[in-house]
């Protein structure tokens, strides 16, 4: 069996167990990483609460070759401990951020550079073993070396920051435009921070939590409002970061005629007023994952001094991940981003 390590393994809804699992060696093109920090994502909470949603059960994922039970966690950073055959540009001791997108490199979208739309779309930590463990073995293409000025704690937040940056890029944000952000979870707060950096003239942040509205102001929001109070037609572009029909309607109502709404929240089937959408010539833009974002995020931290880890509210040990991570995040609005330190 080889060496064992601790990992948080998903077996089913409300069934995540911290247990000993084999710590494999990296194969060709793979790298072993000792995990420093791993964030708990809203996707992880969905899987814990009532999954499976993305986790493969039965048939394995085509890129990872894995199916449940598997190790959760796709927002992580760490230190390279071992490299497999054929890996270049990485060596033991390198500190890295993980970009956990699987990609085949051969489908039409991969060949077009749009690897986040790969035919075998997936993430380590959801469709394969991830970072809620002492160690992870990953394809080398997922790893980004960190310069000295970037901490492993900061790097653990690059994954949600990449989601936010990709959404801002998808929005076509232009200098001076008014931005509305509806939903101030980790993604919404990071959108606030990045929209300010990329030229928004005014940022309005909307959420029912007073503490989250205060943090949004610290991150650069010009104005904050309670849920459902976004002024009508005020925004050039709105970001829906909740995943609910009600908040999508708030975004559409809060966006001017000819404006754009970017969907970042994970929702289900919604009903909207298509007649109004056509008459107001609004655009709804989907945004999934990210591509080519991590180098820019590393640069923003290393060269411009940005710090995306301001959204981190707690750091907990791996053995307490269910009680102090999953359960706490599901039962309070006071926690925003919980990092796990294996």
pLDDT (tens digit, 9 = 90+) per residue, 56-77? Answer: 999 999 999 999 999 999 999 9
CB 109 within 8 A of CB 115: yes
How far CA 67 is from CA of 51, 59, 95, 280, 290, in Å, comes to: 13, 6, 28, 45, 23
Read off the pLDDT of residues 128-147 as tens digits, 9 standing for 90 and up.
999 999 999 999 999 999 99
Question: Distance between CA atoms of 307 and 9, rounded to whole angstroms?
Answer: 30
pLDDT tens digits, residue range 278-307? 999 999 999 999 999 999 999 999 999 999
Q: Angle formed by the axes of helices 294-304 and 158-171, to 10°?
A: 110
In this predicted structure, the answer to whether residue 124 has a pLDDT above a threshold of 90 is: yes
pLDDT of 1 > 50? The answer is no
Confidence (pTM): 0.97
Which bin fits 261, alpha (ψ -120 to 50), beta or left (φ > 0)? Answer: beta
Q: With CA atoms as reference, report the closest residue to 188 among 170, 148, 215.
A: 215
The pLDDT mean for the chain works out to 97
Whether residue 125 has pLDDT greater than 90: yes
* CA distance linking residue 81 with residue 127, whole number of Å: 23
What's phi and psi for 61, nearest 5 deg? Answer: -70, 140
Mean pLDDT value of segment 301-321: 97
What is the 8-class DSSP label of residue 172?
Answer: T
User: Is 337 in a helix, a strand, or coil?
Assistant: strand
Q: What's the pLDDT band for 2 if we cut at 50, 70, 90?
A: low
Q: What are the tens digits of pLDDT across the range 164-220?
A: 999 999 999 999 999 999 999 999 999 999 999 999 999 999 999 999 999 999 999
Question: Does pLDDT of 52 surpass 60?
Answer: yes
Q: Provide mean pLDDT across the span 244-269.
A: 96
Measured CA to CA, the distance from residue 101 to residue 139 in angstroms comes to: 10
């Amino acid at each position: 069996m080889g060496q064992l390590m601790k990992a948080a393994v998903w077996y089913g809804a409300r069934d995540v167990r911290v247990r000993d699992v084999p710590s494999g060696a990296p194969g060709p093109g793979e790298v072993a990483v000792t995990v420093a920090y791993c964030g708990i994502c809203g996707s992880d909470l969905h899987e814990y609460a009532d999954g499976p949603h993305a986790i493969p059960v039965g048939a394995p994922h085509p890129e990872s070759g894995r199916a449940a039970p598997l190790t959760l966690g796709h927002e992580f950073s760490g230190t390279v401990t071992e490299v497999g055959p054929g890996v270049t540009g990485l060596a033991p001791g390198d500190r890295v951020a993980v970009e956990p997108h699987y990609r085949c490199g051969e489908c039409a979208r991969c060949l077009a550079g749009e690897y986040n739309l790969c035919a075998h779309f997936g993430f380590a930590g959801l469709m394969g073993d991830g970072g809620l463990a002492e160690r992870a073995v990953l394809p080398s293409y997922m790893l980004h070396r960190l310069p000295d000025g970037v901490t492993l704690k900061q790097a653990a937040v690059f994954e949600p920051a990449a989601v936010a940056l990709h959404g801002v890029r998808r929005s076509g944000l232009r200098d001076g435009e008014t931005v509305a952000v509806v939903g101030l979870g980790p993604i919404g707060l990071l959108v606030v921070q990045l929209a300010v950096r990329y030229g928004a003239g005014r940022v309005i942040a909307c959420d029912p939590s007073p503490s989250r509205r205060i943090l949004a102001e610290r991150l650069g929001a010009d104005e904050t409002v309670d849920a459902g109070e976004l002024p009508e037609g005020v925004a050039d572009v709105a970001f829906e970061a909740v995943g609910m029909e009600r908040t999508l309607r708030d975004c559409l109502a809060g966006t001017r005629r000819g404006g754009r709404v970017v969907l970042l929240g994970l929702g289900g089937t919604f009903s909207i007023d298509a007649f109004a959408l056509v008459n107001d010539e609004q655009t709804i833009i989907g945004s999934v994952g990210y591509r080519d974002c991590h180098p820019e995020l590393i640069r923003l931290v290393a060269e411009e001094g940005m710090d995306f880890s301001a959204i981190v509210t707690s750091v907990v040990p791996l053995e307490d991940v269910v009680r102090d991570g999953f359960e706490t995040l599901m039962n309070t609005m006071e926690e925003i981003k919980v990092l796990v330190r294996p």
